[in-house]
Structures are given as structure tokens and as C-alpha cells.
Amino acid sequence: MTKDHSTLFDHPEGYGTVSRALHWLMAALFAWQFLSAILHGVDREMPAARFFWSWHMSVGVLLLVAVLLRGAWALINLGNRPVHTAGLLGTAARLGYLVLYLLMLAVPLVAVVRAYGSGRGLSVFGIEVLAGGGERIPALMAPANAVHGLLGWALLALTLGHVIMALAHAYLWREDTLTRMVRGRPASIARMD
Ligand code: HEM
């Protein structure tokens, strides 16, 4: 089975199963993650905030792993994915995706580095991935202290912009941009392959 024949891989007419699964899984996890951050920002003592916050670090690490997989899969499929239109809107979309990827990487990464530098260790869904009891390394904690929350909110703003543009393409300009991520390539093309 070649890349072109398999619906697992991306295609210029629509995304493959792997890209679509990673996209929607990450959308759900980000919705959860932003909810935890918003509730924490509003009143960290309220029961709902405590509940969601108790998952913040585990879901954040899961998102870091997911974005690494997604980035690797995007590279494997490079040159075989839907292209953006030429012109200002297409350039803005490409730039937007680049910044989205950079923020999706940087936000959890600096937090994991801080957890390591804190010497308190890090557990993900109850499994210890970084041992605690180590020395405090302030230089490793400083980047997250300075930018983790700030870049996290910037990522939320950019994500909202991304959702609004996807809906505008689908319902205002009647283009099939959203379909490419929902249903993948049209069935007729999948059959022709
Ligand atoms: C992509 C994933 C992540 C996003 C979008 C995110 C987002 C945020 C946001 C917006 C805040 C500010 C909340 C407030 O102002 O009350 C925050 C705080 C925090 N996050 Fe995350 N986070 C992510 C991953 C992680 C990870 C992986 C860890 C730990 C390993 C972590 C640990 C913390 C901690 C300890 C705080 C409170 C201190 C601070 O604001 O820096 N986060 N996060």
C-alpha cells in the first residue's frame, strides 16, 4: 500500500486519518486545558477549579507528546497535504500555523523544564516521570515563571482566531477548508486512488 492509496496519509484534497485523529484529540485536550487555566485564573479555590487544575500538568504533558507526534507526522506528509491559497490570507494562514506550532511546543516545554528545575519532580496521570527530591535549579525555573502563563493566554487567543477563521471559511465563504479536516479527502478521490 502506497502513501497515495492509504487513507492514513494526507492528500492534497484532504487530511488522512492520523492527522485528523491527532487534530481533534488535541482540540479536545486544549479545550480541557484552557478551561483549567481559566477557572484557576478566576478563583483557584473553587471546587471546579481544583478539580480541573489537578489534571493541568498531566494533560499538558500529554499535549506536548501529541504535538511532537503531530509535527513528525506533518513532516512525513510534507508536500502531500492541502495547500493554502496564494496571497495575503494564505500567507497569514501559514504564519499563523507556524506560530501555533511554536506556542504548542514552547508552553508545555518550559513548564516541564521548570518542574525538573524545581526539584519536586513530575507525575503524569499518577506515574512519576521526573523524580523529586533533587536540587532546585533557578535558571531552569525562570523561563516558565516569566512566560508560561503569558504564552498560554496568547495560545488561547490564537486558537480562538483559528476557530473563527475555520468557521468563516466554511459558512461565510462556503469553502471546503473545514471538510478537509472533518471528512478528509472526498470519497470519489479515495476510490480513484
Ligand atoms: C499546552 C499545554 C499548556 C497550556 C495551554 C497551559 C496554560 C497555562 C495557563 C494559561 C496558565 C495561567 C493560569 C493562571 O493564570 O491562573 C498556566 C499556569 C500554570 N501551568 Fe500550564 N499550560 C500547559 C501545560 C503545562 C504543563 C505541562 C505544566 C507542568 C508540567 C504546567 C504547569 C503550570 C503551572 C504550575 C502553572 C501556574 C504557574 C504559572 O502561571 O506559571 N502547565 N498554564
What are the residue ranges spanned by the domains of the chain? 17-192
Our answer on whether the CB atom of 66 is closer than 6 Å to any ligand 1 atom is: no
Q: Apex CA 60: angle with CA 28 and CA 111, to 5°?
A: 150
Q: Which residues contact 23 (CB under 8 A, 6 or more apart)?
A: 15, 70, 181
**How large is the greatest C-alpha to C-alpha distance in the chain, in angstroms?**
60
Quick check: 191 pLDDT over 60? Answer: no
Q: What is the mean pLDDT of the chain?
A: 92
Write down the residue that cell numbers 511532537 correspond to.
68
**The pTM is what?**
0.92
**Residue located nearest, by CA, to atom 11 of ligand 1:** 149
CATH architecture of the domain with range 17-192:
Up-down Bundle (1.20)
DSSP assignments along 123-153, one per residue: EETTEEEE-SS----HHHHHHHHHHHHHHHH
83-101: average pLDDT: 90
29-51: average pLDDT: 98
pLDDT for 185 equals 77
Of the pLDDT bands very low, low, confident and very high (cuts 50, 70, 90), residue 46 is very high
C-alpha–C-alpha distance, residues 193 and 191, integer Å:
5
Specify the ligand 1 atom closest to the Cα of 144: 41
Quick check: 142 pLDDT over 60? Answer: yes
143-152: average pLDDT: 98
The three grid cell numbers given for residue 129, joined into one nine-digit string: 516521570
Our answer on whether the CB atom of 106 is closer than 6 Å to any ligand 1 atom is: no
